[in-house]
Amino acid sequence: MKILVPVKRVVDYNVRIRVKPDGSGIETDNVKMSMNPFDEIAVEEAVRQKEAGVATEVIAVSCGVEKSQDTLRTAMAVGADRSVLVKTTAVLQPLAVARMLQKIVEKEQPDLVILGKQATDDDANQTGQMLAALLDWPQATSVSALKIENGKAMVTCEVDDGQEMLALTLPAVITADLRLNEPRYVTLPNMMKAKKKPVETTTPEELGVPVDSRLKMLKVAEPAARSQVQMVPDIATLVSRLKNEAKVI
Ligand code: AMP
């Protein structure tokens, strides 16, 4: 059983995001980049399935600039067997990524695709859903537990009013939630070993996928500064101040 894991290179989650002075985007020059945190969870889950003898091969794929190779190396250091880089300098939107992933899926024929539930840069939460629709495969989003048995993926999904248990017939697409697992630390020896694992490179043109933007970003702005927070000693004071000062209750 093959598992495909799409991984995105994003600004590291510890970095304080700075908006460019002209509002055209965020600063990425000299900024630490890492694997999207939800994708770390997706890779960890795929590798655990391999370690449990359920999966036989884990393939990581990333669409983006040459440097996305670093993200693929990290995935291989965790345990992915090989990777595919779809190299492009274009600004990618979820539909273009989903279309490229569809082409890779058609070539690789995985039984399961595990994506992150969302990328922390665009927060789109769309790529997995679009990929499932393009492939016409069953999908489960925000998955917090996964068990594969008898050709089915038994999953628990985090939904607004609790949890939903689903049985998906493979092949299927799932997206990983924060609670699915706790990713392991990547060790230096494993990082060295990952350097020997194969990375195949292709391009959107070779895959026949147009990457032109469907959406136009008008402006990026800093969030409005929060008004000063005031601590109150107890609930009675809170209620009294909401009533008498803020006059909201
Ligand atoms: P999004 O729909 O942009 O929030 O991203 C959801 C998930 O799609 C991510 O967690 C990744 O697993 C995958 N994904 C998005 N963009 C890329 C990309 N450029 N390369 C590889 N995977 C991606």
Query: Which atom belonging to ligand 1 lies closest to the Cα atom of 36?
Result: 10
User: For ligand 1, which residues put their CB under 6 angstroms from it?
Assistant: 6-8, 36, 38-39, 62-64, 92, 94, 97, 115-116, 118-119, 122, 124-128
pLDDT reading at 45 higher than 90: yes
pLDDT of residue 42: 98
- The confidence band for 69, taking pLDDT boundaries of 50, 70 and 90, is very high
Residue 86 alpha carbon to ligand 1 centre in Å:
13
Query: Which atom belonging to ligand 1 lies closest to the Cα atom of 92?
Result: 19
pLDDT of residue 223: 86
pLDDT of residue 78: 98
The residue whose CA is least distant from atom 10 of ligand 1 is 116
Q: Kindly state the greatest CA–CA separation across the chain.
A: 68
CB–CB of 72/199 below 8 Å?
A: yes
Q: Give the Cα separation of 143 and 118 in Å (integer).
A: 12
Q: What is the pLDDT of residues 147-200, one digit of tens each?
A: 999 999 999 999 999 999 999 999 999 999 999 999 999 999 999 999 999 999
35 vs 212, more confident: 35
pLDDT reading at 81 higher than 90: yes
pLDDT reading at 46 higher than 90: yes
| Radius of gyration of the chain, Cα coordinates, nearest whole angstrom | 21
Q: pTM of the full predicted structure?
A: 0.91
Instruction: Identify the bridge partners of residue 61 per DSSP, sorted by sequence position.
Output: 6, 84
Q: What is the pLDDT of residues 228-242, one digit of tens each?
A: 888 999 999 999 999
State the average pLDDT over residues 202-222.
93
pLDDT of residue 213: 86
Mean predicted lDDT score pLDDT of the chain:
96
Q: Which residues contact 219 (CB under 8 A, 6 or more apart)?
A: 23, 24
- The confidence band for 19, taking pLDDT boundaries of 50, 70 and 90, is very high
